[in-house]
Structure 1
Amino acid sequence: MTETIKTPTSAEVRRWRRYLADERAEAAVYGDLAERREGEEREILLGLVEAERRHEQHWVDLLGERVGRPRPVAFRTRFRCFLARHFGPVFVLALMQRTEARSPYSQDADATDAMAADERIHEEVVRGLAARSRIQLSGSFRAAVFGANDGLVSNLALVLGMAATGVGNGVVLAAGVAGLLAGALSMGAGEYVSMRSQRELLDASTPNPEANTALPHLDVNANELALVYRARGMSEEEANEHALETLTDLECAHEEIREAAERAPEPEHESLGTAWGAAISSFCFFASGAIIPVLPYLFGMGGIGAVLMAAGLVGAALLGTGAVVGVLSGASPLKRALRQLAIGFGAAGITYALGLLFDTGAL
């Protein structure tokens, strides 16, 4: 009996072609990233390319003669490749993480179970690759985002609050510039002190490499070394046993303490970033955010027109910073952008309303 081959509908052909184009685009992005990486990361990215090629072949086989001409490279793919070339992989990987998470294969009968499973695992692979870049970026990025958002919101609130009181444009401009300088210097100094203090706390928990010189003189019966291991979380029995082994072989003990001193603080310090990096990022990004609500007054605008222009410029900037945070965190850029906008305008609106209560024209 001859098996009847089902003729796909036009809707199925369109869907399969879209899937084919998506697979080719994802393979192109991973391939572009792989060209700029080396070692293990390059091998992982090439493994993702190979997987996407397998998925691509599945849709080619289903389409057969209906495969048609390849679709032009989508704008989003060209944009991701641009980000990879000029800003490093973190933006691209964050975007690809969301793409893999939204794969429709698990709900599509024409995709195999293996393909759906691949896409689910690809999300975790990309998440792991992105985590490496996020760790390197996290310290200064946190300070930069906090600084920019604080500059936008606080100075907009200051400018709108002063404008609402009815004072002259010169006074509003002076208040905005003063708020910019005071806030940027305060943010920079605060971030530096905060980061240095946190590093000093971590350093205080680092094993002292000089402690190994005391080992040959320890009283084996008193076994003070066991207290060290118990303080690090071992049970009394485990600590006593480990201390006895350590004192039996002092050479190993020297090496163990040296390695602990070298390795222990590294993960925390790496994730924190540098104090100067955080301070400079905070200063620059606060200033870049705080200058935006002042721009209308710098160019001679005044009254309600300047208020609306300042609010519009800051609103666009808040949407932008929120979207960037959303992309890098693997979350929805739109939701993060709207959240930033709501928070910023909420704070500025309250300050503007308070300024109206102190209208100088009514005094």
Structure 2
Amino acid sequence: MATPSPRGAENRGPDGPDPAARAPAPSAVRRWRRRLADEREEAKVYRDLATRRTGEERQILLGLAEAEERHAAHWMRLLGDEAGRVRRGAARMRLLAFLARRFGSVFVLALAQRAETRSPYRSDADATAAMAADERVHEEVVRGLAARGRARVSGTFRAAVFGANDGLVSNFALVLGVIGGGASPSTVVLTGVAGLLAGALSMGAGEYVSVRSQRELLAASAPDVRDAHALLRELDVNANELALVYRARGVPAAEADRRAAAVLRSGDPRSLGGPDGADDGGHDVVGTGLSAALSSFCFFASGAAVPVVPFLFGLGGASAVIVAGVLVGLALMLTGATVGVLSGGPPLRRALRQLAIGMGAAATTYGLGLLVGAAVG
């Protein structure tokens, strides 16, 4: 099927501008080559991701790759003999392709989602209206795939991010507080190590209890479909309470009646699994108590160790505080940017927000330590 003609260009044929009518400007040729290289890189990303998936997700990713290859063919037609040698895509697209080959993780899908969001085709007169619409649809498709991945890692990831951030902020604030109070370097190290161990153990235990409790609540709310086959055979087709099951789950009355009738006709007990006729997947979203506890413990400990490192290497006074502040600031920005990437938000804004919150808490504790130290002294 022929690709629709570009928007806003003059002297065009059915497949784009007529090369015989007017030679393209050098700037246009450079832009078309850049678009071609980026589309090829993007198709490569989706094909590499597809090799790490199975079933429906694999087919979706292959479909996206084929669409990007159609877009690449459009730029090839415009370039004609000007296509030249195969060029490399933009640096961010090459990085995305590298990550897809090495990891194939939810991070890559989140980055791909941002890449689709920044598509230039809506303002590019040489792109077709169909291509611009494709990119908008691709954004939603990748958003859906990324959401699946986020759901699979959300429990452990949440514990990891919160653990690292809490370790950084709380122990840095603790260290600055005792420094402000006039503590000796050895006391600072002892306080930092004690804060690391106490906080990591507390976070790990808290996460385990929290996740276990949440899973137990979900289990108590999950539909009980044991012996469902026998139950469906015994229900009165004309007067039964099966529709009430759906209404109790928030389904409107008319729709509940329709679903109840469909279940009775099919005799399929899987339709009783949830409000949308599916089994409850909340347990996968929450994660396991042990994995969340271990993740929280390890990441809190790693975060809490950062502000203590300069003191362990013999630094003291203002130099140790400055080095610790720089290390903690970089780590806070890294955790903030990671959350931004996974959430589909702007990484820099999330990083700066994390930095401001962490440094604000540490500065407050340092000020209080100065006041307490002055009062005690």
Matched with 1:188 is 204
Report the counterpart of residue 5 of structure 2 in structure 1.
Answer: none
Verify the 8 A CA contact 2:223 2:273 in the aligned structure 1: no
What is residue 314 of structure 2 aligned with on the other side? 300
Secondary structure of the structure 2 residue equivalent to 1:359: helix
Q: Partner letter of residue 38 of structure 1?
A: T
Q: Which runs of 5+ in 1 are unaligned?
A: none
Output the CA distance in 2 between the equivalents of 1:123 and 1:236.
35
The Cα shift of 1:46 comes to 1.6
- Letter of the structure 2 residue corresponding to residue 53 of structure 1: E
Is the Cα contact below 8 Å between 2:336 and 2:354 reproduced in 1?
Answer: yes
Q: Percent identity?
A: 62
> Are residue 127 (structure 1) and residue 143 (structure 2) matched?
yes
**2:38–2:93 contact (8 Å) kept in structure 1:** no
Residue pair 1:206, 1:264 contacting (<8 A) in 2 also: no
From 276, 290, 297, the counterpart of 2:304:
290
Q: Deviations over 1:74-132 (max 9, x none)?
A: 54344323423443331111111111111111111111101101111111111111122
Instruction: Describe the SS at the equivalent of 1:266.
Output: coil
What is the deviation of 1:237? 9.2
How far residue 31 of structure 1 moved from its aligned partner, in angstroms, is: 1.7
CA shift, 1:270, in A, is: 1.3
Separation in 2, partners of 1:88, 1:215:
43
Who is 2:280 aligned against? 266
The count of aligned residue pairs is 357
Q: Distance in 2 between matches of 1:225 and 1:66?
A: 67
Structure 2 spans left out of the alignment, 5+ residues: 1-17
CA separation of 1:43 and 1:183: change in aligned 2, threshold 3 A: same
Counterpart position of 1:357? 371
Tell me which of 99, 118, 121 is aligned to 2:115.
Answer: 99
User: Does the 8 Å CA contact 1:145/1:321 hold for their aligned counterparts?
Assistant: yes
Distance 1:257 1:115 in 2: 39
CA distance in 2, matches of 1:6, 1:180: 70
Is the contact between residue 38 and residue 89 of structure 2 (CA under 8 Å) also seen in structure 1?
no
CA distance in 1, matches of 2:306, 2:21: 64
Instruction: Verify the 8 A CA contact 2:34 2:89 in the aligned structure 1.
Output: no
CA shift at 1:223, angstroms?
Answer: 7.7
CA contact (8 A) 1:157 1:352 kept: yes
Q: 1:209 to 1:73 in 2, by over 3 A?
A: closer
Is the partner of 2:126 in helix, strand or coil?
coil
Match of 2:160 among 140, 144, 157: 144
Partner of 1:157: 173
1:112-123 residue pairs with structure 2 within 5 A?
Answer: 112-123=128-139
Distance 1:30 1:157, change over 3 A: same
Cα distance between partner residues in 1 of 2:72 and 2:39: 6
Q: TM-score, normalised by structure 2?
A: 0.83
8 Å CA contact retained: 1:84, 1:91: no
Q: Distance in 2 between matches of 1:327 and 1:38?
A: 24
Label 1:34 to 1:67 Cα distance change in 2 as closer, same or farther (>3 A): same
Match of 2:53 among 22, 25, 37: 37
Indicate conservation of the 8 Å contact 2:100/2:108, yes or no: yes
- Cα distance in 2 for partners of 1:286, 1:229 equals 43
Instruction: Call closer, same or farther: CA 1:22–1:244 in 2, change over 3 Å.
Output: closer
Residue range with higher mean Cα deviation, 64-73 or 25-34: 64-73
Comparing 338-347 and 68-77, the one that deviates more: 68-77
Q: Which amino acid aligns with 2:175?
A: V
Counterpart position of 1:204: 220
Give the alignment's Cα RMSD to 1 decimal. 3.4
1:34 maps to a residue whose letter is: A
Aligned partners of 2:176 and 2:366 also within 8 Å: yes
- Alpha-carbon displacement from aligned partner over 1:216-262 (angstroms, at most 9, x marks no partner): 99999x9887876664456789989999999x99x959x4698569x
Q: Is the 8 A contact 1:165 1:358 kept in 2?
A: yes
Equivalent-residue separation in structure 2 for 1:252 and 1:235 (angstroms): 22
Equivalent residue, structure 1, for 2:340: 326
Superposition TM-score, scaled by structure 1 size: 0.86
AA at the equivalent of 2:43: A
Q: Distance in 2 between matches of 1:256 and 1:97?
A: 33
Q: Which 4+ stretches in 1 moved above 6 angstroms?
A: 210-220, 222-227, 234-246
Question: What is the aligned partner in structure 2 of residue 68 from structure 1?
Answer: 84
CA drift at 1:44 = 1.6
Return closer, same or farther for 1:257/1:35 CA change in 2, 3 Å cut-off: closer
Per the TM alignment, residue 45 of structure 1 is displaced from its structure 2 partner at its CA by 1.5
Deviation at 1:7, TM superposition (A): 2.3
Closer/same/farther in 2, CA of residues 155 and 215 from structure 1, 3 Å limit: same
Give yes or no for contact 2:48–2:104 (8 Å, CA) kept in 1.
no
Taking the aligned partners of 1:111 and 1:245, their CA distance within structure 2 comes to 47
Confirm or deny: 8 A CA contact 1:207 1:257 kept in the other structure: no
What one-letter code is carried by the residue in structure 1 that aligns with 2:318?
I
Residues 262-281 of structure 1, C-alpha deviation per residue, up to 9 Å, x if partnerless? x8763111111111111111
